[in-house]
Amino acid sequence: MISLLAKHPVLRNLFSGLFLFLAGSCSRIDHKQSALDPKGLVSQNQYDVFMLSVWITIFLFCTVGGCLLYVLWRYRAKTAEEAKEIPPQSHGNSMVETGLIIASSIILVILAVPTLQGVVLLNRVPDANDTESLEKLGLDRSQIDGAITVNVTGKRFFWIFEYPQFGIVTANELVFPATKAVRINLRTEDVIHSFWVPKLAGKMDLMPGQENFMWFIADQKKIMGDSDAATAMPAVHDGTMRSKVFAKQKFTDEFEPVGGLFYGQCAEFCGNSHAYMSFRALAQTDEDFDTWVKRFQNAQNPNLQTKSYDPKTSYNKNSFVSFADNKLGAGANREYRSVRKTSPGQSPQVAPGAWEKAHSDDYEKGKQLFSSLQCVQCHAVNRTGLGAKGPNLTLYGLRTSLAAGWMRNDEESLSKWLKNSNEIKFGNLMWNGEGVDDRHPLRNLQDDDEKVNQLIAYLLGQS
Amino acid sequence: MATESIKYLAPDSENKAKTQVFPRPGQHTTGLVDWLTTIDHKKIGLMYGMTALFFLIVGGLEALLIRSQLWDHNMDVLTNRQYNQMFTMHGTTMVFLVIMPLSAAFFNFIMPLQIGARDVAFPRMNALSLWCFVGGGLILNLSWFFTGGSPAIGWFGYAPLTDTRFAEVIGDMGPDFWIFSLQILGVASLLASFNFITTIINMRAPGMTMMRLPVFTWMTLIVSFLIILAFPAITIALVELMFDRTYGTNFYDFLEGGKPHLWQHLFWIFGHPEVYILILPAMGIVSEVIPVFSRKPLFGYGLVIFSGAIIGFMGFAVWSHHMFTTGMGVVATSAFAMLTMLIAIPTGVKIFNWIGTMWGGRIRFDTPMLFALGFITMFMIGGFTGIMHSSVPIDAQHQDSYFVVAHFHYVLIGGALFGLFCGFYFWLPKMTGRMLNEKLGKFVFTLMFLGFNLTFFPMHYLGMIGQPRRTHTYNEGHGFETWNQIATIGAFILGVGIVIGIYQFVTAFFNKKLKPAGKNPWDARTLEWALSSPVKEYNFARTPIIKARDQAWENNYGPRENHAEKEPLDDHGVHMPDRSWWPLVTALGLFGLAMGMLFHRTIDPSGELVRDYTVPILAGSVAIIGMIMWALEGPGGYHLFPKENDE
């Protein structure tokens, strides 16, 4: 116990200034996953009904508890003799009893009305043609008309986010436009999960064999606060979000969140590593969101993937081709970028001056390792890869978090993760899944810093 | 004991006694054999109680491990799987092996005394339910030692996590142990309930009309009806799950067209009445204690009974409020929300009536009364958060967060466990004949009250700031640490309080230094307090003729015409039944059947699945032979001739 006290500053605080400390931490309600700090229409509604119920129950508790205290004080037996007295043996009073029943029914009605309204709100996106309700909710028609749809698939223990309107797939970080409604279709491929971003909306379960629906719409004003859009909602597509999050915010420091960064968590017990099944939702301005979608579409467009060098073609400046480079190993290819217009036949070998390496050697080697170490069997990069076993890693370098929102996505954590993910997330399927045993190359990376660094260069190079 | 006895030898049973192959252990059985073969409702009640207190310690240790793991972010006290096993076992243990059997202990011991009966209607069946309960508890806890360890599925075992397809350990047997254990515990509960219903309906003393029944007996009756109506649902669910796991059927396997939703409906249509099965006995106890320590009859007796019945009835109409976030659609969700709000009214009525009882009384603050008052306040908080959860928009945020954990612990510890401890402090003098140490009792109450609130009040806040339930750890930076540390400290304080309490209960049976209790130490009101403490083997020397509702009180303070009379003594004496081995044998057979089914599958060297039903068939035969012998063994018995007022 004493060593615990010495080790934990929190406990020391507790003993030194209990009340001050408790009052201080209780007044904070803007924690990462706090439902007391709603930033969207649906969560605001849920918060309002909750606060109504809190006031009702505080009132009831004070009234009934007050009566109880009064009775206990007033009718306590003060002396041993009094304790032996026999008070009048009354058996009840039907007027009082009926009155109390009616009073409690009335109080329930006060809660029942907003409850029913809330049920409808969280189950249905308001009709774009219903101007009256839109006005009541403070929404603009365009916010509904421009709604995006995301198909969320839960897997043990990560999330797949598919945007059917745009034909793109990502994982663990849901990027969405801050001003538009977001329709969420929930599916699961294994057990029950539950999608919960407390600041945006309450939870909804992902039920096997059925598709559930929920929706949310963020409140841009609340996200922005006093700052401008660039500060509150840094762009994801060019890596600003990632660098801002990393620069401003220690992973541990919850009280300086970037406004547009929301934390979510699986809320239905789903197996060994259920606790690790978190995710993030990143709010974007409309333009940034569109740009992000475009980048993703390009990255996942099979027609836009880098092709092998064709000697019969002339390439414009900034064209990408794949061409042999023996330095990387026998038969290995690397990506080249043209620095000027080339004529047919001017391959990187023939005209080295016309081409430059698109990526570092480490990146290229990492790319090879990604295949040869069998990563590619479960992870899709630059393709939608629906049905892949693991999270989609397209544009992975833009992500803020690693391991389903559990760690900061930087070199250090990624290196730890690749070396022994089981130590970080015991029971994760990358380490323990079907067909992974001690012979699997993934389990033999502990002492191989070189390979790990190459993989990191490749993965974080996806930006 | 001022009694003499003769062997009961009526002409026809004389022949039977001679033909008995295995004679029933008789009057002078002592020691271990006495406890194993007893069919005395008081001894069975005590064994129920002591076993449940043992499991309370087991479940409590599991809880303390859980709390230690959550002390700080990313702790390594338990691995994630161990943690998941802990909360599954903690929940299952506390619901099925602690609160229910503790209630059953009081049903057994107190209810027959309250209605003026010599025993329950089917004493041997009562013993069978005890041994089934012990067997079921054993099976559940044996799971630690076999493949996969204990189940890691949560106490409501949501499909399809329980499906072998999603097992995280190859050949995981945990859920199988869980299934068979719950089935056998179900047998125990069902048998006991039929027994109690029959007893209350048929064996009331003359003049003990239904509206003169003590409230605790009424709650026993209501809870027994809840059990016999609710348990079939989980029995079906478990049978289907067992078939899924053992024979590859597809009730819950969604990949083969099964429906995980089905499990949730079946489970909660049992599970919600179960909540009332857990709380109504405690309400019954509190409804006995408050009048005694206020020296006034219960305010609105009829309404309290009626609201208990309404709660029981409506308990079957609100199960889907556990499923608000599973996508049931607007209509079903709204309907269940409204029904759930309605059930708050009869619950509130009880609180009003308890306060009404104290109004104008002479209130004494002895330990049982303190626990009763603790019950009222804590249950009130649990009830209020329950009303919040009935509102769907609120529930969408609270569901599966620590707010819900706080809510149901307020109801089940602050409510049920405080109520049951209240019962121990109230009735132990009747069971042991000795008063408990008041100072120690008050100390226990203080520890439990403080520890409990310290543990669970912060969880409301933790839930609101986003800590999900059933997560074995949490990441740094969420602000969860401080409040979890407070909760952990509180849990240890609560644990110490409970352990001292249990120590006090157990030693009360042996500690000769304690003050003798006498017949009615609290100046209590109901019939059991007219008997000596401890109660004689035969309960009532002469069956009382009841004249009023609070008979013990009326005997002392009521008008002459309300004093109980007694049926005349006859020279026949009190017929006491012999003890019996067969309930134990039958329970052993069922235990063996379950264990046999658990281990009937093996993989032979060529990788083929081999099913071997030898053990289940043998054990099942033992159970059937037990039942047959039970039917054939004959009454036996002996007669006691107590003096007129020796009771």
Per-residue pLDDT tens for B428-479? 999 999 999 999 999 999 999 999 999 999 999 999 999 999 999 998 888 8
Q: Does A337 touch chain B (CB under 8 A)?
A: no
CA A356 vs CA A321, A460, B228, B358, B497: distances in Å: 11, 20, 80, 90, 75
Q: B102, B11, B104, B9: which is closest to B57 by C-alpha?
A: B102
List, in sequence order, the alpha helices (H) in A166-269: 220-224, 229-232, 240-248
Quote the pLDDT of residue B121: 94
Contact B522/B441 with Cβ under 8 angstroms? no
Q: Does A97 touch chain B (CB under 8 A)?
A: yes
Phi, psi at residue A245, to the nearest 5°? -60, -45
Contact B392/A106 with Cβ under 8 angstroms? no
The residue count of chain A comes to: 463
Best of A25, A26, A33, A157 to substitute, by most chain B Cβ atoms within 10 angstroms, is A33
Whether residues B103 and B19 share a domain: the answer is no
Among A155-164, A373-382, B262-271, the range scoring the smallest mean pLDDT is A373-382
| Torsion A86-A91-A94-A100 (CA) sign | positive
Question: How far apart are the C-alpha atoms of B440 and B562, rounded to whole Å?
Answer: 38
Residue at B535 is within a domain: no
Q: In total, how many domains does chain B have?
A: 2
By Cβ distance, the residue of B362, B479, B486 closest to A85 is B362
Contact criterion met (CB < 8 Å) for A122 and B396? yes
CB contacts of B392 in chain A (<8 Å) are 115, 118-119, 122
- In a 3-state reduction of DSSP, which class is residue B117? coil
- Mean of the per-residue pLDDT values of chain B: 92
Cβ atoms within 10 Å, residue B240: 19
Nearest-CA residue of chain B relative to A51?
Answer: B394
CB contacts of B479 in chain A (<8 Å) are 25, 28, 31-32, 254
Most confidently modeled range among B168-177, B198-207, B470-479: B198-207
Per-residue pLDDT of B518-562, as tens digits, reads 999 999 999 999 999 899 999 998 899 999 999 999 999 999 999
CB contacts of B299 in chain A (<8 Å) are 90-93
Among B9-23, B468-482, B577-591, the range scoring the smallest mean pLDDT is B9-23
Question: How far apart are the C-alpha atoms of B275 and B408, rounded to whole Å?
Answer: 9
| Torsion B396-B400-B401-B403 (CA) sign | positive
Quote the pLDDT of residue B569: 77
Please give, rounded to a whole number of angstroms, the shortest distance from the CA of A205 to a CA of chain B.
5
Q: Which percentage of chain B shows pLDDT scores above 70?
A: 97
CB contacts of B254 in chain A (<8 Å) are 208-209
Cβ atoms within 10 Å, residue B211: 10
Q: Which residue has the higher pLDDT, A332 or A169?
A: A169
Q: B576, B414, B586, B400: which is closest to B490 by C-alpha?
A: B414
Chain A, 135 to 164: residues with Cβ < 8 Å from chain B are 156
CATH number of the structural domain spanning residue B306? 1.20.210.10
> Which one-letter amino acid corresponds to residue A331?
G
By Cβ distance, the residue of B79, B161, B475 closest to A191 is B161
> Which one-letter amino acid corresponds to residue B113?
L
By Cβ distance, the residue of A75, A198, A273 closest to B80 is A273
Q: Token match 């348990």: residue?
A: B231
Q: How far is CA B327 from the centre of its chain?
A: 33
A307-308 sheet: strands from edge to edge: A307-308, A320-324, A333-338, A355-357
Distant-in-sequence, close-in-space partners of B441: CB < 8 Å, separation ≥ 6:
B366, B367, B370, B425, B504
Quote the pLDDT of residue A247: 80
Please give, rounded to a whole number of angstroms, the shortest distance from the CA of A212 to a CA of chain B.
6
Question: How far apart are the C-alpha atoms of B619 and B599, rounded to whole Å?
Answer: 13
Whether residues B21 and B74 share a domain: the answer is no
Please give, rounded to a whole number of angstroms, the shortest distance from the CA of B158 to a CA of chain A.
8
- In a 3-state reduction of DSSP, which class is residue A231? helix
Contact B160/B260 with Cβ under 8 angstroms? yes
**Per the structure block, which two tokens stand in for B638?**
């002996």
Whether residues B7 and B74 share a domain: the answer is no
Residues paired with residue A177 on neighbouring β-strands, in sequence order: A284
Contact A201/B396 with Cβ under 8 angstroms? yes
Distant-in-sequence, close-in-space partners of A447: CB < 8 Å, separation ≥ 6:
none
Phi, psi at residue A311, to the nearest 5°? -60, -20
Contact criterion met (CB < 8 Å) for A122 and B154? no
Contact A65/B376 with Cβ under 8 angstroms? no
**Per the structure block, which two tokens stand in for B162?**
């329980």
Q: Does A95 touch chain B (CB under 8 A)?
A: no
Per-residue pLDDT of B583-636, as tens digits, reads 999 999 999 999 999 999 988 888 888 999 999 999 999 999 999 999 988 778
Please give, rounded to a whole number of angstroms, the shortest distance from the CA of A407 to a CA of chain B.
9
Each domain of chain A, given as residue ranges in start order, spans 1-30, 306-381+410-460
Q: Which residue has the higher pLDDT, A54 or B15?
A: A54
Please give, rounded to a whole number of angstroms, the shortest distance from the CA of A170 to a CA of chain B.
23
Residue at B544 is within a domain: no
Residue at B540 is within a domain: no
Quote the pLDDT of residue B16: 47
Is the entire prediction scored with pTM above 0.90? yes
**Residues of chain B by 3-state class (helix, strand, coil), percent to 5:** 65, 5, 30
Question: How far apart are the C-alpha atoms of A368 and A375, rounded to whole Å?
Answer: 10
**Per the structure block, which two tokens stand in for B211?**
């509206």
Whether residues B29 and B121 share a domain: the answer is no
Q: Token match 């009904």: residue?
A: A49
- In a 3-state reduction of DSSP, which class is residue B196? helix
**Per the structure block, which two tokens stand in for B295?**
């020296």
Q: How far is CA B408 from the centre of its chain?
A: 16
> Which one-letter amino acid corresponds to residue B563?
H
Compute the count of residue pairs across chains A and B with CB atoms less than 8 Å apart. 315
List, in sequence order, the alpha helices (H) in B70-173: 80-92, 100-115, 123-142
Residue at B536 is within a domain: no
Contact criterion met (CB < 8 Å) for B391 and A273? no
CA A462 vs CA A260, A327, A396, A403, A456: distances in Å: 22, 22, 5, 16, 10
Chain A, 396 to 415: residues with Cβ < 8 Å from chain B are 406
Average pLDDT in the B21-33 region? 80
Whether residues B31 and B51 share a domain: the answer is no
Q: Does A102 touch chain B (CB under 8 A)?
A: no
Contact A71/B358 with Cβ under 8 angstroms? yes
Please give, rounded to a whole number of angstroms, the shortest distance from the CA of B383 to a CA of chain A.
10
Whether residues B346 and B490 share a domain: the answer is yes
Residue at B134 is within a domain: yes
By Cβ distance, the residue of B158, B338, B348 closest to A104 is B348
Question: How far apart are the C-alpha atoms of A282 and A233, rounded to whole Å?
Answer: 8
Please give, rounded to a whole number of angstroms, the shortest distance from the CA of A308 to a CA of chain B.
42
Question: How far apart are the C-alpha atoms of B37 and B581, rounded to whole Å?
Answer: 5
Q: Which percentage of chain B shows pLDDT scores above 90?
A: 82
Q: Which residue has the higher pLDDT, B211 or A354?
A: B211
Residues paired with residue B545 on neighbouring β-strands, in sequence order: B565
Q: Between vectors from CA A177 to CA A171 and to CA A181, what angle results, nearest 5°? A: 100
- pLDDT higher than threshold 70 for residue A251: no
Residue at B200 is within a domain: yes
**Per the structure block, which two tokens stand in for B633?**
């063994």
Quote the pLDDT of residue A312: 87
Residues paired with residue A324 on neighbouring β-strands, in sequence order: A333
Burial of B54 (0-12, 13-18, 19+ CB in 10 A): middle
Contact criterion met (CB < 8 Å) for A8 and B485? yes
Give per-residue burial for A438-447: e unless 16+ CB within 10 Å, then b: eeeebbebee
Whether residues B160 and B190 share a domain: the answer is yes
Q: B552, B544, B517: which is closest to B532 by C-alpha?
A: B517
Distant-in-sequence, close-in-space partners of A54: CB < 8 Å, separation ≥ 6:
B388
Whether residues B11 and B147 share a domain: the answer is no
Q: Token match 């003590």: residue?
A: B214
Average pLDDT in the A318-328 region? 85
Last residue of one domain, picked from the residues B494, B525, B556: B525
Whether residues B180 and B302 share a domain: the answer is yes
Whether residues B360 and B390 share a domain: the answer is yes
Residue at B225 is within a domain: yes
CA B198 vs CA A114, B209, B217, B328, B541: distances in Å: 46, 15, 12, 39, 22
Average pLDDT in the B86-111 region? 96
What residues make up the domain containing B581?
1-37+569-647
Quote the pLDDT of residue B21: 61
Helix axes B367-390, B438-464, angle to 10 degrees: 10
**Per the structure block, which two tokens stand in for B308?**
């208990």
Contact criterion met (CB < 8 Å) for A251 and B472? no
Whether residues B279 and B368 share a domain: the answer is yes
Whether residues B25 and B107 share a domain: the answer is no
pLDDT band at A184 (very low <50, low <70, confident <90, very high): very high
**Per the structure block, which two tokens stand in for A322?**
């794949």
**Per the structure block, which two tokens stand in for B321?**
């409020």
Residue at B307 is within a domain: yes
Q: Does A416 touch chain B (CB under 8 A)?
A: no
- pLDDT higher than threshold 80 for residue A248: no
Nearest-CA residue of chain B relative to A425?
Answer: B80
CB contacts of B296 in chain A (<8 Å) are 87-90
Quote the pLDDT of residue A317: 86
Per-residue pLDDT of A389-427, as tens digits, reads 889 999 999 999 988 888 888 888 899 999 988 888 887
